[in-house]
Structure 1
Amino acid sequence: MIELGVLFGLLVAGAAALIFVLLRRGNSGTQNVDGLLIEQARREQAHNDRVTYNAGAVDRTVPTLRDHDRP
């Protein structure tokens, strides 16, 4: 019974620590937008790569379960 109390006590202490850290950060905006611009550019590049290099664009065929090129 004591072990269960210790377990729940540790869980509550961990949750309280996480809440404290999140509340301490606040809702302050970033002072530097360079990181946001870099992240936006990478997201756009990843999207373009997914569109450019998908199976239909590369092979000009619809992907199927069987590969007819293999014997």
Structure 2
Amino acid sequence: MASFVVLVALMLTAALLSAVTVLRRRNRTTENADGLRIEQAHRDRAHVARYAYRHPFVDGSFPGGSSQSRR
């Protein structure tokens, strides 16, 4: 029983530390142009990744995608 309590306490501590870290990072602003360019590049790469790995493109069933049956 004691080990379960310790495990739950460790999990709650990890969750609390994660939440604090995320909240602290969200309030930070970029001070210079280089940081803004880096953030924009990250947003652009995330957008491309979300578009490229959507389900129809990944499995090849999208009409414009490459399919083995069309060759």
| TM-score with structure 2 setting the length | 0.47
Which one has the largest radius of gyration?
A: 1
| TM-score with structure 1 setting the length | 0.47
